Structure 1
Amino acid sequence: MIAFFDKYTENAGKLQETMRCMGEDAKIAVLSGEGFLPSGILSPYDFFSYGSRQGEFAEKDLFYNFIPLPEFWEVRLTGGTGGIFDMGCEKAKIYFREPAEKRNVQRVEWHMEDGWVYKIDYYNKYALKYASEFLDTERNVESRVYYSEKNQEMVVEQPVNHMISLLDRGMVRKLFDSRAEFIAGYLEEAGLREEECVLFVQEEKTFEDLSLTSEAGKMWTKVLFSDPGLLNQYAGMGGTNGFRFYEIPEQYRENHGRGEAMILTASDRVEQIEYLISVLPEMRFHIAAHTQVSDKLRKLEESGNVRVYPQISRQDLDMLWDTCDFYLDINHYYEIYDAVNAAHTRNQIILGFDNTVHHRELLADEGIFAEAEQEKMAFTIRELMANPARVQELLGAQQKKKREIWQDLWMRRENGHGI
């Protein structure tokens, strides 16, 4: 299987890790021209620019003083950036990779005297200029060129009409009318045509860039989404092969059933929260929201075993993910921070009521309670806090849920139906 990403993010590593857990192998290819992809990540642009020669290149940084320049031009540092000058007149700005204090080049923006940036040169992990963007006066990209290691133009992309040309010694050897055709051409020339092709969508613009709902979209056996909103949008456009991506970590964090529970909510309607707080004084409840909270929620702190986090910070949220062993999916209305999936990945015990669960498919059957079974939920929580063996039993059933989703997904290789 080869999975294409619109851009390289941590989701690529998560997919590879998940596939390893399922006993499958996945090649990763990135559809945007990026100069610092990790080793082993495929790129159609690198393939057409360098071919098999890429394995011969040594990785190295380009120090700003070594940018190739015309005779008598010079480079100067100008604060946190650099500048290229001719006879005292600045021709371009140099922007550095992080950490910027090392002064290694990431891109060079060439500009006219009036400030119009007409070209941006990009440098890669081999210290080569691998691409240039040519811009209009509104800073829209009119064309994008990818180069060989000898600075020969190899790929020319015109984003406005989605046309992509392959060049050989300055002559067009192949012309593609769309990015979908370009990808098909890459698979053919790279000997990957027999691979199952999966697309991982992370941005809305990918729908248009790859014409997903047209005939061209049929090249993808599956379209994966980490964002449920994008998945719903795709389904609304008629997409039938879209699936939610659920990460399976190679190793789950330890969970000992400690008396720390978190709830993420977008409203003050939290099912049976007053009852649970009162009958479980040994449990500390952390209730967090991404907005300000009502007096109703704030008043819960009077119980002594509750802390409320209005407009929770990223630091506090990360702290709760690390310290809480229970996640209570008992808030009404919509979910925030992809909470249930995040709790599952972090191996928290997830419990919820029939009328509040947001992702039933991720909860163990015994973790879901009828609306009126608050006493049974409280009993279960108390039992889990006292019995480590029960904790591991429930977590085992919970972890099995994601594996079943993936097993079902890969059993559908032939029919292409989504969920």
Structure 2
Amino acid sequence: MIQLYDSFHQASKDLYYSLTQAGFQGPVVVINDDGFLPEGVTSAYSYYCQMETGQGRSLYFNQLQVPPFWEITGTNGDGEVWDYSQRKAKIFYAEPKHLRRIKNVDWFGPNEKVRFTDHYNRFGWLFARTYFNAEQKVTSRIYFNQAKQEVLVENFMTGDIQLNWQGKVYFFDNRVELFRHYFAEMGWELSEIWYNSLSTPFFLSYNSPEAGQDILFWQEGIQEDIPGNMKVMLNSSHVRTQRVLVQQRQVYQKMMDILPEEQKAKIAYLGYIYPSLRENAGRKEILILTNSDQIEKLEELTQALPDFHFHIGALTEMSQRLMAFEAKSNITLYPNISQKQLQRLFQECDIYLDINHSGEVMDAVRKAFEQNMVILAFEQTIHNRDLIPAAHRFDASQPTDMVMALAGFAASYPQMVALQREETSNESVTGYQQLLGKEER
């Protein structure tokens, strides 16, 4: 069995983790390689550029090579390159962003239009460069090995790809042909491809001449109708993909409402096996992470809940406005919080309030969910709706509703944690094995 992902985003990671936990083994392949794929996950680009055996460390933002006298500036969100008052480039970080590891760099031409983007990998070397035309459309991308030799040249205007490999030059009409060549070179068994996208992964399955039993794991939403490629699949009994496993409960229910009866048999629901790192101990210790001093209804909550202790952390310095809250006996502030402190707070707090404005810090809601912390949010500040049940979301105009929910925390936290798991596509190992087959692949 091959796991085939279009890109390795959070939903892909969740499926990969779930399949691994359930005992399903096999090559794990990603179409769009960003240079930061974890150990055990690969792509055609990683293989041919030899990133799988690469060495080195990711580049810190100020290690970018620039001409003499140019200046590099940076925050925890991104970086910039300046030639006096002229901005020459923007630096984008890999997650987690506070580590400031370079992932992509946009280099500007006149009027700050992007001329090309340099892509750096987790070993700190330039592995790809993407070129843009005057209309800011992507025209081509060149991939390099660590010796800076051109390995792959991808033309986005025509779709064709050139591969320079072991003294030979290969030409492919598209990515499907490239990945079929890659699969053949790896010698993998292709009777089962489990994939999560109706783009290149679907076409790899659909155009395979070999017989097979493939599965589409549908992780996206739908509009008023089923996507066209899925219709093709569901309307035919001659394609390799005869099963669609929908990973969002509401999407599954909507599909069952609009599909004809003869196609419903091909559809099933299957959520994710989420990590469960510890049990909730019912402690009245609250964690809030923020990048700003805009924390919704903080004054009202701390005033109404004197027997709860609020731990507020930030990766940077805190403003005087926020520092003033330290005078309250039930608040502890952590400006410039260290990773060790943050890890300790995720272990010692049993409630997470997603009530900070601006961006989410350190994927905090996800971390809190895996720690089985009870997560409450305001609708106006919520960062990860998929992991917070409706009963745990409140309108900021009615903060007393959140206060009441917290007031009953000591008696109801086991039920609150259970609700979080039940309403967020949580699945069991047994559920995976029963639906996909218990034997390891």
Q: Same fold (TM over 0.5)?
A: yes
| Offset, 1:319 | 7.1
1:25 to 2:28 alignment: no
**Corresponding position: 1:110 with 2:104:** no
1:317 maps to 389
- Residue correspondence of structure 1 range 15-414 to structure 2 within 5 A: 15-20=15-20, 22-50=22-50, 54-58=52-56, 60-70=57-67, 72=68, 74-77=70-73, 81-85=78-82, 89-98=86-95, 100=97, 102-167=99-164, 173-189=169-185, 191-202=186-197, 206=199, 211=203, 215-216=207-208, 221-227=213-219, 232-233=226-227, 234-239=229-234, 240=239, 241=241, 242-244=243-245, 246-247=270-271, 249=273, 314=385, 317=389, 323-324=415-416, 342=424, 345=427, 402-407=432-437
Once residues 88 and 254 of structure 1 are traced to their aligned partners in structure 2, the CA distance between those partners, rounded to angstroms, is 51
Partner of 1:417: none
User: 1:104 and 1:135 mapped to 2: Cα distance?
Assistant: 24
CA RMSD for the aligned pairs? 4.2
One-letter amino acid matched to 1:404? Q
Give the partner amino acid of 1:178.
Answer: N
2 and 69 in structure 1: CA distance in 2 versus 1, 3 angstrom threshold: same
Kept in 1, the 8 Å contact 2:48–2:165? The answer is: no
Distance 1:107 1:41, change over 3 A: same
Sequence identity percentage: 20
> After superposition, what is the alpha-carbon deviation per residue over 1:314-340, rounded to whole angstroms, capped at 9, x for unaligned?
37528759735888xxxxxxxxx9x98
Residue equivalent to 2:321: none
Letter aligned with residue 44 of structure 2: P
Give the whole-Å Cα distance in 1 for the aligned partners of 2:378 and 2:89.
46
Name the CA distance, whole Å, in 1 between partners of 2:72 and 2:278: 53
How far is 1:40 from its partner?
1.4
Q: In the aligned structure 2, how far is the partner of 1:63 from the partner of 1:251?
A: 30
- Aligned-pair CA distance for 1:223: 3.4
Q: Deviations over 1:195-253 (max 9, x none)?
A: 54514224x5x16x853686358687413223375694344123551420524638889
Paired residues of 2:163 and 2:169 also in contact (CA < 8 A) = yes
Q: 1:404 to 1:254 in 2, by over 3 A?
A: farther
Q: Structure 1's 45 and 253: CA in aligned 2 closer, same or farther, altered over 3 A?
A: closer
TM-score, length of structure 1 as denominator length: 0.56
Provide the C-alpha distance between the structure 1 equivalents of 2:204 and 2:149, rounded to a whole number of angstroms. 32
Tell me the distance in 2 between the aligned counterparts of 1:36 and 1:173: 27
Q: Which runs of 5+ in 2 are unaligned?
A: 247-269, 280-376, 393-412
Whole-angstrom distance in 1 between the partners of 2:126 and 2:170: 23
Larger Rg: 1
For 1:250 and 1:182, how far apart are their aligned partners in 2? 34
**C-alpha contact (below 8 Å) 1:3/1:27 kept by paired residues:** yes
String of CA shifts for 1:78-100, please: whole Å, max 9, x gaps.
66644445576543233334555
**Partner residue, 1:4:** 4
Report the CA distance shift for 1:144/1:64 in structure 2 as closer, same or farther (over 3 A). Answer: same
User: How far 1:34 sits from its partner (Å)?
Assistant: 0.9
Return the offset for 1:23: 3.9
Please give the secondary structure, in 2, of the residue aligned with 1:24: coil
Q: Deviation of residue 45 (structure 1)? A: 0.4
- Give the conservation status (yes or no) of the 8 Å contact 1:65–1:75: no
Deviation at 1:14, TM superposition (A): 3.7
Q: Given the superposition, is the C-alpha separation of residues 253 and 343 from structure 1 closer, same or farther in structure 2, using an over 3 Å criterion?
A: farther
Structure 2 counterpart of 1:317, one-letter code: P
Question: Using a 3 Å threshold, how does the CA distance of structure 1 residues 35 and 344 change in structure 2: closer, same or farther?
Answer: closer
Q: Secondary structure at the match of 1:34?
A: coil
Structure 1 gaps of 5+ residues are 256-308, 328-336, 348-398, 414-419
Q: Which amino acid aligns with 1:238?
A: M
Which residue identity is paired with 1:175?
F
Query: Structure 1 residues 108 and 222 mapped into 2: Cα distance closer, same or farther (>3 Å)?
Result: same
Letter in 2 for 1:5: Y
Query: Matches of 1:81 and 1:402 in 2, distance apart?
Result: 39
The answer to whether the 8 Å contact 1:213/1:238 transfers is no
Assess, with a 3 A threshold, how the Cα gap between structure 1 residues 212 and 89 changes in structure 2: closer, same or farther: same
Post-superposition shift, 1:147? 0.9
CA distance in 2, matches of 1:140, 1:220: 37
TM-score by structure 2 length?
A: 0.53
Q: Structure 1 322/219 Cα, relative in aligned 2: closer, same or farther at 3 Å?
A: farther
Contact 1:2-1:27 at 8 Å conserved across structures: yes
Given that residues 16 and 25 in structure 1 are in contact (C-alpha distance below 8 angstroms), is that contact kept between their aligned partners in structure 2? no
Q: 1:45 to 1:310 in 2, by over 3 A?
A: closer
Aligned partner of 1:287 in structure 2 is none
**Hey, what's the Cα distance between the residues in 2 that align with 1:64 and 1:252?**
34
CA distance in structure 1 between the partners assigned to 2:423 and 2:216 by the alignment: 15
Measured in 1, the distance between the counterparts of 2:3 and 2:188 equals 13
Is this contact kept in 2: 1:5–1:29, CA < 8 A?
Answer: yes
Contact 1:121 1:129 (C-alpha < 8 Å) held by counterparts: yes
The answer (yes or no) to whether the contact 1:16–1:26 under 8 Å persists in 2 is: no
Q: Deviation at 1:311?
A: 6.8
| Partners of 1:73 and 1:84 within 8 A in 2 | no
- Three-state SS of the structure 1 residue aligned to 2:437 is helix
Equivalent residues, number: 287
User: Is the Cα contact below 8 Å between 2:127 and 2:146 reproduced in 1?
Assistant: yes
